[in-house]
């Protein structure tokens, strides 16, 4: 029974070893993709926030159209503004988390 557990553990270690070997080979591309993905989070946040604020602007400019228009505008803009702010915050969290990786990549590219 104990021998079966050891065999299963050995198999799992071999699988993890293969995964880490592939990560080492693909480290430069993986780092680039990860850092680009973090930048996309910022871009998405800014775009969403801008769209939400644009809707708020149109609602404020056209308040004379009635309370239904104002209500619909706020319902449409609130999720966009929230998502934009959340993505921008997430960008800074991820950037802080992976700052060493970013600096290391820049050092590798320059030197």
CA separation for the pair 86, 14 (Å, rounded):
40
Identify whether the C-beta of residue 38 lies closer than 8 Å to the C-beta of residue 91. yes
Q: Highest-confidence range of 12-21, 65-74, 79-88, 97-106, by mean pLDDT?
A: 79-88
Give the predicted TM-score (pTM) of the model: 0.70
Indicate the pLDDT class of residue 65, thresholds 50, 70 and 90.
confident
CA separation for the pair 52, 81 (Å, rounded):
5
Identify whether the C-beta of residue 42 lies closer than 8 Å to the C-beta of residue 90. no
As a whole number, mean pLDDT of residues 66-83 equals: 89
Indicate the pLDDT class of residue 32, thresholds 50, 70 and 90.
confident
Kindly state the helix (H) or strand (E) to which residue 24 belongs, with its residue range. helix 2-25
Of 30 and 37, more confident: 37
């Amino acid at each position: 029974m104990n021998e079966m557990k050891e065999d299963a553990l050995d198999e799992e270690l071999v699988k993890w070893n293969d995964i880490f070997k592939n990560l080492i080979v693909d480290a430069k591309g993986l780092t680039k993709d990860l850092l680009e993905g973090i930048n996309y989070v910022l871009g998405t946040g800014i775009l969403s926030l801008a769209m939400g604020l644009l809707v708020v602007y149109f609602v404020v400019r056209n308040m004379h159209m009635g309370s239904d228009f104002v209500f619909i505008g706020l319902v449409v803009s609130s999720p966009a503004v929230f998502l934009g702010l959340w993505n921008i915050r997430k960008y800074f969290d991820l950037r802080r988390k992976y700052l060493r990786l970013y600096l290391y990549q820049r050092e590798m590219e320059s030197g």
